[in-house]
Structure 1
Amino acid sequence: MRTASADLHAVRTITVDGSDVYLRVTASPVDLEIRWSRDGDHRVAGSPVLFPAGDRSRRLLGTNFRAGTTFCLDVVGEARQDWCGVVDWNV
């Protein structure tokens, strides 16, 4: 399993076929809707997942990715507040 908490908007690569992507928002003063999107093609994206402010639950963003897929995380709408979290992939 890969885990990262640094730049949540960084490009990541799936290395294991059938992998899932999870996110746990550890701090946000506002509700967020976050989705995965394919690096270089934001027309290919997952459905937004709601992360209520103060809720630190780990949530599933996408499933069954193929090895070699590159993805980013996108905030749907404007997130004017700073937020942070932990993303897990290849799980």
Structure 2
Amino acid sequence: MRTASADLLAVRTITVDGSDVYLRVTSSPVDLEIRWYRDGDRRLAGSPVLFPAGDRSRRCLGSNFRAGTTFSLDVVGSAQDWCGVVDWNVHG
């Protein structure tokens, strides 16, 4: 499993077929809606997932990605100062 908390909007690469992407928002002053999108093409994106302010639960942003898929995260609406942890290349 690859985990990163720095630069949450960076491009990441799936290395194992069937991998899932999870996010845990550790700090946000407001509710956030976050989705994954295919790097370079925001038309290929997941559905927004709600992360209520103060809720530190880990949530799945997408599942069953193919190896070689590159993705980034996108905050739907106005971006605020927030931080969290992204886990990708997670199987199941």
TM-score (norm 2): 0.97
Shift of 1:69: 0.1
CA distance in 2, matches of 1:25, 1:90: 18
Separation in 2, partners of 1:44, 1:78: 20
Determine the C-alpha separation between the residues in 2 that align with 1:41 and 1:67. 17
Structure 1 consecutive aligned stretches of length 4 or more whose deviation exceeds 3 Å = none
User: What per-residue deviation string (whole Å, max 9, x for no partner) do you get for residues 7-49 of structure 1?
Assistant: 0000000000000000000000000000000000010000000
Matched, 1:28 2:33: no
Deviation at 1:76, TM superposition (A): 0.4
Measure, in 1, the Cα distance between the counterparts of 2:69 and 2:51: 24
Task: Summarize deviations over 1:42-77 as a string: whole Å, max 9, x none.
Answer: 100000000000000000000000000000000001
Q: Which runs of 5+ in 1 are unaligned?
A: none
Query: What is the TM-score with the length of structure 1 in the denominator?
Result: 0.98
Once residues 84 and 74 of structure 2 are traced to their aligned partners in structure 1, the CA distance between those partners, rounded to angstroms, is: 13
Number of residue equivalences? 90
Separation in 2 of the partners of 1:78 and 1:29?
Answer: 12
Aligned partner of 1:83 in structure 2 is 82
CA RMSD of aligned residues (A): 0.4
Q: Runs of 5+ in structure 2 lacking a partner?
A: none
2 CA distance for matches of 1:29 and 1:76?
Answer: 15
